[in-house]
Amino acid sequence: MRKSILLPAIGLLLVATAGPANADEGMWMLHQVGTLDQQALKATGFQLTPEQIWDPKTSSGLASAIVSLGGCSASFVSPDALIATNHHCAFGAIQMNSSPEHDYITEGFLAKDRAAELEAKGNRVYVFRGYDDATDAMRSVLKPGLKPEERSKALEMKEKSLIAECEKDGLRCRVAEMYGGLNYYLFKTLELRDVRLVYAPPRAIGEYGGEVDNWMWPRHTGDFSFLRAYVGPDGKPADYSPANVPYKPERFLQVANAPLKEGDFTMIMGYPGKTVRYRIAAAIADDTELSYPRRIALYKDLIDIQEAQSKRGKDVEIKLASALKGLYNGYKNNQGMLEGLKASDLAGRKRALEAELTAWIKADKGRQAKYGDVLPKMEAILAERRTTAERDLIIGQMTFGRQGSMLGAALTLVRWTGERAKPDMERDNGYQDRDERSLRQRLERMQRNLDLQADRAVLRYVLGRAAALPADQRIAAVDAALKATGATGEAALDALLDTLYARTKLADLKARLAMFDLKHDVLLTQGDSMVNFAAALRKDLKAHEDESKRFDGELVTLTPRFIEALGAFQKTPLYPDANSTLRFTYATVKGYAPRDGVVYTPFTALAGVVAKHTGTEPFDCPQSLRDAAKAGPFPHYADPVVKDVPACFLTTNDITGGNSGSPIMNGKGELIGLAFDGNYESMTSDYQFTDAMSRTINVDSRYMLWVMDYVSKAHGLIREMGLEPQAK
């Protein structure tokens, strides 16, 4: 996490009396809502006050109804903690509870009552409790003369201290940087650990169109599901227990009953994952020329492996479903990113901007002294990192990409047992006492997704890529393990894999959890082949992490100065990049013209859902939905303009990954749908927002209710949301 000691531009960056160049652009922090042009907001349909969104004085507001699922967003929609989110956000919970006998992925699921709701093991719901400015506290540890790695360490220790103090009250806290580290905020949430699956439509509704329609418009996907959060009988967060009771949220969203039309005001609150809109030209060029092409090739190879393995049987198909879903999405996302970066020549346009910025800096001695070294130093750091780009890609796949795998489990065990021997405050982030429960549950959950043959096939591919790295980017542990087999080439890979899988107990859940409780030195004496390989590999990973911390320590005094200079040069209010913290974005319902002669209207309808049916995946519309559609018209759900039940709609809201499942609301703060995607033409919105092309794709709440009412007969849930079913 990069931080900074520089604050002169705070006033410029945080006070936004007018929006950025594009009126709907910006993922604003909640305290910035009051600095936006309130008159303009009201003119477009905003009917609340900033304090009704969130009032820090009372720690209350509409934001209390918006929750994070740790990678997705969601919202409370009933007083008994019913949670609306996307089908793809609940997919892990659906898959974990599925089997060849109960294929909820394909068939869908509806709990007949609360006792029948299914445990979503390992899932979390994070309820917003506000945030505090932590800038001064973080700055206080950055003493003059610190080396880059010392800066990173000092900030890390201060961050842990702030979090430890915050969590004394039973909250879950994190320190988030803004503007590359110009500011820091301490975010507070209530972590609810008992989460249950309540309702999911069949996959042919929730994922209608599959990868063909993914990121595309027009869209006809019913991407929604419902969860519920529980607490102990005392009202406090607790692990799953049949004795637990539904959480009582302070706020929940009401479903809108007024029609939605083109031009209407919309707003989204959610947890966007990451944007990089202040990334310098050299970094964008690296992404365009190196990162995306390599990741696309990697994802394609992994998809091919997993698809081949999935054909071995229904049980394997279910086990690999979540991994494949993520790979498909990443593959198409990266393809769109690459196409967009090339087509827009973003790197070239950034270079031109930076040339103007450099000239502006040089035109004034004070500016030259303050900012003159920033861009050259940032470019030098990127050039150094570029020399290990291929190795870093494979290391990333071995660590983050292998979570839930045998090697991933071994790496977790090696690192956890090693870190646990240290005082808690000296441990690496993610391996403190506060993380023990989630680490243990990760090791438990992997059992449901583990297929040894598929696991071996993927690891073989990754090790093969590592063995083919250039001479100056080798991974020592992989080289040593392959050499120890006494073979070469493909034979060495197979011999190593034979050893790794024949002499490990990690496939056994009880053995794996028993290892979690061992001391580090005892773990390494067990003779487990996968653990021993992970221990050797951990040395390479630690060296890689130390390099990253050194780079972060260098950027800690550069990135904030660059953003400060950019803001002063452009004289434009700047919002912070997304970083998985709660944000507010406002917009309107609006179509777009993707190319010459083509104009997309902002609504699709139920008739379009049926019209797309071919009887073959991904357009195999369920018979139950097609039969229900014939019973129309449906005046309660139909739109007077569309003259049908609206399925999905477009808005100009500024979102990114992590916003999936975010409630999209009207000017009164009422639910009108759920955000679930962006359009392919604006795939590069992580880098740039354009009013002409940047669109959010939302599932309409009226389609959600129609499916629940006429297809799934989820009448109890409709009533719980304060509405009355229409199907009799």
Instruction: Supply the DSSP string of 372-410, one letter for each residue.
Output: TTHHHHHHHHHHHHHTTHHHHHHHHHHHGGGTTSHHHHH
To 10 degrees, what angle do helices 452-467 and 389-399 make?
160
* The pLDDT of residue 571: 86
Query: Which CATH number applies to 47-125+193-274+577-728?
Result: 2.40.10.120
Higher pLDDT, 401 or 645: 645
Residue 88 among the catalytic residues: yes
pLDDT band with cut points at 50, 70 and 90 for residue 624: very high
Residue 21 pLDDT exceeds 80: no
* The pLDDT of residue 22: 52
pLDDT band with cut points at 50, 70 and 90 for residue 404: confident
* The pLDDT of residue 398: 87
Q: Calculate mean pLDDT across residues 252-265.
A: 95
Residue 399 pairs with which residues in a beta bridge?
none
Domain boundaries, the chain: 47-125+193-274+577-728, 279-386, 389-543
pLDDT band with cut points at 50, 70 and 90 for residue 556: confident
The pLDDT tens digits of the residues spanning 187-214 come to 999 999 999 999 999 999 999 999 999 9
Q: Out of 4, 68, 78, 88, pick the active-site residue.
A: 88
| Whether the predicted model's global pTM rises above the 0.95 cut | no
Residue 728 pLDDT exceeds 90: no
The pLDDT tens digits of the residues spanning 111-131 come to 999 999 999 999 999 999 999
Residue 98 among the catalytic residues: no
Q: Out of 223, 392, 540, 654, pick the active-site residue.
A: 223
Q: Calculate mean pLDDT across residues 660-687.
A: 96
* The pLDDT of residue 15: 35
CB 578, CB 626: distance < 8 Å: no
Q: Calculate mean pLDDT across residues 268-275.
A: 97
pLDDT band with cut points at 50, 70 and 90 for residue 399: confident
* The pLDDT of residue 711: 98
The CA distance from 467 to 493, in Å, is 9
Residue 17 pLDDT exceeds 60: no
- Annotate 461-495 with three-state secondary structure: HHHHHHHCCCHHHCCHHHHHHHHHCCCCHHHHHHH
28 by Cβ neighbours in 10 Å (0-12 / 13-18 / 19+) ranks as buried
Percent of the chain at pLDDT > 90 equals 91
Q: Calculate mean pLDDT across residues 74-98.
A: 97
Residue 350 pLDDT exceeds 90: yes
The CA distance from 31 to 55, in Å, is 9
The pLDDT tens digits of the residues spanning 298-319 come to 999 999 999 999 999 999 999 9
Q: Out of 68, 405, 660, 694, pick the active-site residue.
A: 660
pLDDT band with cut points at 50, 70 and 90 for residue 86: very high
Nearby residues of 187 by Cβ (< 8 Å), 6 or more positions away: 130, 131, 173, 174, 175, 176, 581, 582
What is the per-residue DSSP string for 504-520? --TTSHHHHHHHHTS-H
* The pLDDT of residue 401: 61
CB 414, CB 318: distance < 8 Å: no
Residue 14 pLDDT exceeds 70: no
* The pLDDT of residue 402: 63
* The pLDDT of residue 316: 96
Residue 660 among the catalytic residues: yes
What is the per-residue DSSP string for 62-112? GGGGEEE-SSSEEEE-STT-EEEE-TTTSHHHHHHT--SSS-HHHH-EE-S
* Amino acid at residue number 434: R
User: Of 234, 209, 232, whose CA–CA distance to 220 is shortest?
Assistant: 209
